[in-house]
Amino acid sequence: MFDLVAGIDAYPEFVPWITGMHVEPLQQLAPGVDRVEATSRVGFAFLTEQFTTEVTRDRNRRAIRVRLVEGPFKRLENDWNFEPHPTGCKVIFYIDFQFRSKMLDFVLAANFDRAVDKLIACFEARAEKLYGRFSPSRPEAAAAQAPARPPSA
């Protein structure tokens, strides 16, 4: 699951509102830790925007940290943490954002839970496509299984 989330260049293939992604060359910070800058193009029925984030991927801690560099947000940060679990992998997802536009912030905040559920569903579907459905008789698939609904803030 870490590799799936860390593979940001593939997001346009399975996250419907991400219409494009440009990833700068990575910076190796330490063994197992790197950082990239990524510019995402997003499109919704009423909005097309792009924003740039700094993504730090730490395989040692099984954590991915995303922070805003520039874009339509006043604040954007999200964290992915991956913990071993007896039946696979527990994924803990945190996101916090605020748009510069009060109207846009209001509209998206009103649909926040639905948007997070849809985002998590995109990753679950991608994991199933890449790794298969979890089955106790297939222990290699257990590493890719996330809880049905990871906690979100």
Does residue 124 lie in a domain region?
A: yes
Choice between 112 and 109, residue whose per-residue pLDDT is larger: 112
Which contiguous run of DSSP H or E holds residue 120?
helix 112-131
Residue pair 38/24 in contact by the 8 Å Cβ criterion: yes
| Residue 150 reports pLDDT greater than 80 | no
Does residue 151 lie in a domain region?
A: no
* CATH number of domain containing 99: 3.30.530.20
* Total number of domains in the chain: 1
**pTM (2 d.p.):** 0.81
Q: Is 78 exposed, middle or buried (0-12, 13-18, 19+ CB in 10 A)?
A: buried
Tens of pLDDT along 8-37?
999 999 999 899 999 999 999 999 999 999
Does residue 148 lie in a domain region?
A: no
